[in-house]
Structure formats: C-alpha cells, structure tokens
Amino acid sequence: MDYYYDDYYDEYSEQSDLEAARLLHRELSIEETITNCVSPSLRFAAQYMINFVAINLLFSIVVLYLRKIFPNSERSLHLLSCLFGAALLYRVIDHGFYHFLQLAISLYVVQWTLHRWLSGSGRYIKTPFIVIAYGIGNLLVSELLEPSPETWNRIRGTQMILLMKALSLAFDTEEHQNLRNQLNVLSYTGYILCPANVVLGPWISFNDYLSIWKPSFAIGHSTGFAGLLIHVSRILISALAAVGCLLTSNCVIDYMLAPIASWKWVRAYGRALSFRTSHYFIAYLSQCSMIAAAVDWSPVSSPLAVEFPRSLVQVVTAWNIPMHVWLKRYIFRSTKRPFGTAAAIALTYIISSLLHGLHYRLWLTLLTIGSWTFVEHEVRKKLATIYSACVLVGKCPSSCIVHQHRSKSVFCIVVNTLFFVLNIFNLIYLGCIFETTEGPPEEADHDKSMFGRWTELNYASHWMLVFAYLFYFII
C-alpha cells in the first residue's frame, strides 16, 4: 500500500536531476501551480477516491439493513463482501485481475491441502511457514512473468494485502480449531474481497472482518441521524487529509522548494518528503475506506511520529501500523523462540521486503533501516547505562526512577536532539531514492538509477552508519 497511481508527472520521470532542478528553479506563479498541478491532482483524487467511498458506504448501509433481517447469518456478510469487493476491484484495477485471482485460489488450495493431509503430524516445519514460502514464491514468479511492469505496479499493493490476509489465516487456523471450522470457500472469499481493504489495505484479521456483522460496529456508534452525521464527518476528515497529502506531494513541495532547488540536499529533501506524503495519501484513503465500510479501525499511519522521530524504531512502527502489527504477531513472535531475537529481526525484515516483490530499492532501504535501528538502539542503550540518562530509543516516563538524568536535563535534551537530527537526516537520505510515481521496472536494467541519488549524496548515511558502529565499540 506504499504506492499510488498518478500519471501526471510521467513526462518528467526520465529527466536528470539537474534538468529537474532547472525546471523547479523556474519561478512558478500561484496561478500556474493551480492550473498545471492542483487542478489535475484534484481531478485525479476525485475520480480515484469516489470509488472507495461510494462502494464502501453502500456496503455498510446494505450490511446494516440485512443484519436486522438476518442477525445470525454471517453468510450474508460474505456474499455482500464478495459482491462489493469484486465491484471495487473491477472499478479500480483495470488490468492484472487474473494475478489476484490465481494467487487467491492457489493460496486457499494450498492451505486446504495442508490442513487436510498434514495437520497435527508433528512435523518440524509448520503449515504457516509452508504457506509463506509458497505465497512469496508465487508473488515473485508472477512479477517476473508479467510482461507489463506498469500493470504489476498497479496491483503490487493489492497482491501484498491479499498475501498478508492469507498468511494470517494460515497462522490463526493453525492455532485455533474453532476458526478453522468457520473457514470455507465463501468465508475465505468474503474476507479476501472485503471492499474496506481489498485494494489499498490496511490488513485486518479474520476475526476483525467477522466483527462487521456485529451490531456494535454499526454506522457510527450512535443511532439515528446523529450517528450518520458522525460517520459522514469521519469519512470527510480522512478524505480531506488524503487530498491534502496528495496536493503536498504533487504541488506544494515543488512550489516551496523551487527557489533553492539547485542544492542537491534540497532536491533530496523534496523527493523524500514527496514520497512520504504520497504514502500518507494512501494511508488516509485506506482509513477513509475502512470508516465508510463501518469497519472497526485504528490509524493506518502516524505522520507526526514519522516526521518528528525520536528514533528510527518509531519511524518503522508508525509508517504502516497494521503491517507492523502483522509482522510482529506472525513473523517476529513465531520465529523468536526457535531462532532467537537477532534471527527473528532479520527474518522479519526479509519477509517485509519480499512481500513488496522485486523492489530492489526497497530491499536496500529496509536493510539500511534495519542496520540503523540496531546500531541506534545499542548506542543509546549504552549511553543510558553509562550516564544514567533518559536517552533510550523509547521515551522514559516523566517520573523515571531508573535514570539519574531525566529527559528534561540538559544532557538528555542535547543527546536526544542530536539523535532527532540524525533521524531527520536519515529520512531524507533513505527516502530520496524513491519516486511518488515510480515502480521498479527499470531497476534491474539500470544500477545507476538505483544508486545514483545515494552516489550524489556520497553515501553519507552509510558512512555515518559505519562511524556509529565504531563509536558503539569505542564507548
């Protein structure tokens, strides 16, 4: 769900950074910006978002009325979910639907076969890990065989959400026999095609999906007109936040940075911030879909926590909260006991990378983030121990009794500020290699395009990572 589809800037995608800088350096008036950027972006947002809001709102209304008629029939929920989810996929994804279909069907067949023939056999490799291996293998092979990179980029996020749902089912049904008994072709299809998150996410568990049929999750948490008004206002707030992030990504950043865009670090900052705000657009839009469908929801992303990070661990957690929960629950905890903490962390980052497909830039970015989070955690832990100070990765309570120097002391303020600046620097460096409209079709052909922007910045973050690791040993 880290991608959105906007062809407006495709004409600039093949220009060099210096050419792009010269374009940005040209003073644009407010009128030009509105005409050439804001208006097309608003048209795109309206055309794209109306499908999610309208279909999910209609879905929630129909569920509300059918639940009154058939209060104990979850079959109605599954049928409605299949119907509205398929309609949303048809409206939004114009190509590549066969990839979604074959992955969904084959994953169900694999799980059904494993549960029927191998369940409870005492084997060393558990069913969920077999499903993980098959699902990721299927995903990567499908991407390699797809002749059109553009088509795959349009369904990349959808395929990832589908795989996350199927894998969570594999783990949950392995542990809970009652849940396995509820799972059949209809309930599986309804869960996979749930219109609230079939295209953009976020991931929700099978039990959360079933909760849609419970009266406590009606439209709004109040009845009558007041409940409907609250429900619509929540949809509008999320939709406006999504549009604001889209306009910031497409228009505001370029307009604001145009006078100083000749400096390479300013260009890097602009690209990184544009990438992050495009992610927030998707996060708020997916949140809007969840609210419209009357699904119990929590924030998908926390932009303030990402933009003002105490640590990179906070960035990783707040970037995509449901995916962080999924990785922690099903990958980290499942591998920590047999393989240890270090191996579990490594496997978590590997699985997270592979879920995004053959996205080499993302692989390198996640590898760098994983290295930085480990080094930052260890350095701050060591500093906190040596100086008895509240400088850990996580914030200490205001009445901390463990450390002598609390968070408001001069020493703690200085150290935490230095790490804050370091993390802002890493956000710029790590995000600048992404484009808001990009996918990885050229990455395999042009190593220069993959490393060019880090080369332009002299691999500064990677050199600082080496120095930070040496500093950890010195102190």
CB-based contacts of 328, cutoff 8 Å, min separation 6: 348
> Which of 321, 307, 245 lies closest to 6 in space, CA to CA?
245
Cis peptide before 128 (omega within 30 of 0): no
Please name the amino acid found at residue 103: L
Q: Taking the CA of residue 109 as centre, how many other CA atoms within 13 Å lie in the half-sphere pointing to its CB?
A: 7
Cβ–Cβ under 8 Å, residues 459 and 347:
no
- Comparing C-alpha atoms, which of 290, 136, 101, 276 is closest to residue 201? 290
Q: What is the dihedral of CA 99, 103, 109, 110, to 10 degrees?
A: 140
Q: Give yes or no for a contact between 142 and 111, defined as CB atoms under 8 angstroms apart.
A: no
Structure tokens at 435: 């484009």
Joined together, the tokens standing for residue 313 give 């661990």
Nearest to 323 by CA among 443, 106, 118, 165: 165
Catalytic site positions: 356
In the structure encoding, which two tokens stand for residue 408, read together? 């408001």
Joined together, the tokens standing for residue 473 give 């040993």
How many CA atoms are closer than 13 Å to the CA of 125, on its beta-carbon side? 6
**Which residues, other chains included, contact 85 with Cβ-Cβ below 8 Å and sequence gap of 6+?**
190, 192, 193, 194, 195, 198
Q: How far apart are CA 133 and CA 273, in angstroms?
A: 34
| Long-range contacts (CB closer than 8 Å, 24 or more residues apart) made by 444-450 | 444/358, 444/360, 450/360, 450/361, 450/364
CA 180 – CA 3 distance, rounded (Å):
33
SS3 of residue 122 by DSSP:
coil
Contact 153, 441 (CB under 8 A): yes
Query: With b meaning 16 or more CB within 10 Å and e meaning fewer, what string describes 170-203?
Result: bbbbbeeeebeeebeeebbbbbbbbbbbbbbbbb
Residue 245 burial (CB count, 10 A): 25
Q: Under a CB-based contact definition with an 8 Å cutoff, are residues 4 and 250 in contact? A: no
Tokens found for residue 44 = 């795109």
